[in-house]
Structure 1
Amino acid sequence: MKIPFSPPYINEAVIQEVNSALESGWITTGPKVKRLEELVCKYTLAPNTLCVNSATSGLMLALKWYGIGEGDEVIIPAYTYAATALAVIHVGATPVMVDVEKDFNIATHEIEKVITKKTKAIIPVDIAGWPCNYSDIYAIINKKKELFIPKHENQEKLGRVLVISDSAHSIGATYKSEYLGKITDITVFSFHAVKNVTTAEGGAVCINLPEPFKNQDEYNYLRCFSLNGQTKDAFTKSKAGDWRYDIIYPGLKMNMPDILAAIGVAQLPEYFEKTLQNRVEIYEYYHTFFKTKSWAILPPYKSDDKTSSCHLYALRIKDISESERDAIIDKISKEGVAVNVHFQPLPMLSLFKEMGFDIDNYPVAYNNYKSEISLPIYPQLTKNELEYIVSTVTNAVESSL
């Protein structure tokens, strides 16, 4: 049996929606993008949402909006995909990495140790779809308000460190009974091909700023900035007699095209109404099976104030080394089951090593990584395939211990 790791969920509704974009004669940013933005707001209750060409772009856009650049620091977890750090680097700021907890997410007690007068933002990451401890994060930044030195008008208005949630994995997750998207100042979702909801490539920036900000005004600014700082998008300019525009910001080209947004327009309602529950059922199947295994460390799923989006099933094997984990993966792969590892901690990657980061300073991140194996989890999986996956994993682990 051959089981891929994360194929996209493409059904007839997606095909019809994409065809309608093609047949409309308009394939770049236009009505489909606007509809996707409306749907994200509808289902997450975020006040405003801007769709962009990737979650990485969304993070950069948020950082630039806050005036973050050279000389500034942004706190991130050591356990995340490289894009979290690269967004900080691309705006000219310095990433400050902290260790994580055993649930994979940023260790809030470590944040307090590294906040300085240079700190302008924190980017917590909801690894595998499990929300971070946002109340604790806000308590820390409010406690440290006296250190905050604004150097931009938006920083003056907010008066504290900005919280940008890297929720690439967590659309559909909840924190204190609210969906991610309405929890932090800015939330960035990914719609990459392997995510719970996809547009092939793309992302969404949910804007949830407190008074005195007007979220609609900030949406208008970010939308303009994501289109090279141009006052009219191409769809508006294409209308008869409406060609004249202006460039009012030194913007970037980060917009999402309609042909990609169409995939998300078809997927998003079905996700919240059906396929998220499919993921939950698979997650629970794995939980029920692996909780009987003494060697298994189960990933977080539900607590009193959190529910996971079930993006990844991040199984860990007790008391094994990195090389032993790799050997187990080889055995699983030879049986036709594609598994993965999420993630290599940033200090293990060459770029960040050269910047002076050392994995020895992030022991929890390394311990999580060295024993982690991500199992397939997507709506198309059948009962027979799930049974094959768990038996294959079990045989590979138990023959290695």
Structure 2
Amino acid sequence: MMNIPFSPPFIDDDVIDEVLHTLRSKWITTGPKVAALEQEIVKLTTSKAAVCVNSWTSGAILMLKWFGVKEGDEVIVPAYTYSATALSVLHCGATPVMVDIDDDFCISPQAIRKAITPRTKAIMAVDIAGWPCDYDELNAMISEPEIAGLFVASSVKQQLLNRILLISDAAHSLGATFGGFAAAKKSDVTIFSFHAVKNVTTAEGGCICLNLPDNFDAAAEYKYLRMYTLNGQTKDALSKSLGGGWKYDILFQGLKINMPDICAAIGLAQIKKYKTELLPSRKDVALKYCDGFKDAEWFIAPPLKDQKRESSYHLFPLRIKNITEEQRDRIIDDITSMGIAVNVHFIPMPLLTLFKNLGYHIDDYPVAYKQYASEISLPIYPQLTAQEIAFIIASVIGAVEKELASNQAPNAGSKEYEPAAVNF
């Protein structure tokens, strides 16, 4: 028996020092730490610009509003994602058009193609567990003359782009690669989450990365979006605090969704060691899991790397062949009884009350339900020890095989499974 949390934040002395530096500076809202974090994200992703915000959800609402998405418009989203993906569309008054996914958790390009109408303004592709969608296929699709010809522009930004906007919901995929480069480069807009459980955290927060076509001025868009996060105000608090700098104007109806420096400081310390320490550590845990489960006939390995893509190893989405949702839940109960915290990513949105009431039905998304019913997210983070990883593997194997044996022999007496020894 151990006590293994699911996803604790990575807090070391460098993080504490960075936060203390912010506190001692006497400047804790948006200022130099946010600017420094944005530059680190630009360096990591080679994006044209990065704008930090107070959450992924805020960033998504901002970018949909920036693009002029409104009532009567449609945005295509996968049914298999966290609710914020669709909620951001609803907050703009538009309709989330849910489509099914493929077996790799990614939104189905074939389902997208069938869902596109003249009302489609954007596609939000979700990188589940850190695994990038096939952005080559999605970019090719929205550029097809037949698809592009359906697009009806109704705002200045839409006229400038003159096609469907491709947004990457990259809440899980900071550090993922596509074709040897940052996966963030493959979409017009990529939005990261820095929530407490993410690979890099700011406690709460997110970041918008811009990789729009060259007819957009990245510097001008950054300036505009920065104002948008501050109620459309011409000066931020730091500028106003300088001597004689109190005058400001409100240019448009913005939002109040800026990230404060006290939060940015946490992420700034982490991102500086992300590629060299934190990301390799997560990958090491994932590979140890794959090695530990490789001989189990019931094990479905998550997508981690192929000829084009590599995950950010945010989650380890274990899937078990040919089990029911009820069996999966019993397996989770057994694993947690051993002191291991696990999770499920995600409950498909059509199973949630809000979306049921809006008319979405899970029967329309069979692949999403299949993945959900068989999925268990295991702990994966740099602080895990080899002993803890071995205990998790052994406990999972024991819990799964106990359930499978019970299912094969329902009248057999219960048998307790002790975790087997696993060494690395």
TM (norm. structure 2) is 0.94
Indicate yes or no: 2:294 matched with 1:291: yes
- Work out the CA distance in 2 between the residues paired with 1:83 and 1:131: 18
- Partner residue of 2:372? 369
Q: Tell me which amino acid in the other structure corresponds to 2:197.
A: V
Determine helix, strand or coil for the equivalent of 1:400.
Answer: helix
Deviation at 1:332, TM superposition (A): 0.4
The 5 Å alignment of 1:286-325 reads 286-325=289-328
Q: Tell me which amino acid in the other structure corresponds to 1:345.
A: P
Q: Tell me which amino acid in the other structure corresponds to 1:225.
A: Y
- Work out the CA distance in 2 between the residues paired with 1:183 and 1:217: 21
Unaligned ranges ≥5, structure 2 = 405-424
Unaligned ranges ≥5, structure 1 = none
Deviation at 1:180, TM superposition (A): 2.5
- Partner residue of 1:265? 268
Deviation at 1:211, TM superposition (A): 2.1
Q: Tell me which amino acid in the other structure corresponds to 2:120.
A: T
The 5 Å alignment of 1:1-400 reads 1-143=2-144, 144-400=147-403
Aligned residues: 401
Kept in 1, the 8 Å contact 2:136–2:186? The answer is no
Determine helix, strand or coil for the equivalent of 1:282.
Answer: helix
Deviation at 1:129, TM superposition (A): 0.1
Q: Tell me which amino acid in the other structure corresponds to 1:137.
A: L
- Work out the CA distance in 1 between the residues paired with 2:48 and 2:174: 15
Deviation at 1:85, TM superposition (A): 0.4
Q: Tell me which amino acid in the other structure corresponds to 2:136.
A: S
Q: Tell me which amino acid in the other structure corresponds to 1:33.
A: V
- Work out the CA distance in 2 between the residues paired with 1:329 and 1:382: 21
Q: Tell me which amino acid in the other structure corresponds to 2:249.
A: D
- Work out the CA distance in 1 between the residues paired with 2:185 and 2:224: 19
TM (norm. structure 1) is 0.99
- Work out the CA distance in 1 between the residues paired with 2:128 and 2:230: 30
Q: Cα deviations across residues 122-180 of structure 1 (Å, max 9, x unaligned)?
A: 00000000000111111111120000000001100000000010000000000111112
Deviation at 1:15, TM superposition (A): 0.1
- Work out the CA distance in 1 between the residues paired with 2:295 and 2:178: 28
Q: Tell me which amino acid in the other structure corresponds to 2:248.
A: Y
- Work out the CA distance in 2 between the residues paired with 1:211 and 1:316: 42
Q: Tell me which amino acid in the other structure corresponds to 1:321.
A: T
Q: Tell me which amino acid in the other structure corresponds to 1:331.
A: D
The CA RMSD measured in Å over matched residues stands at 0.5
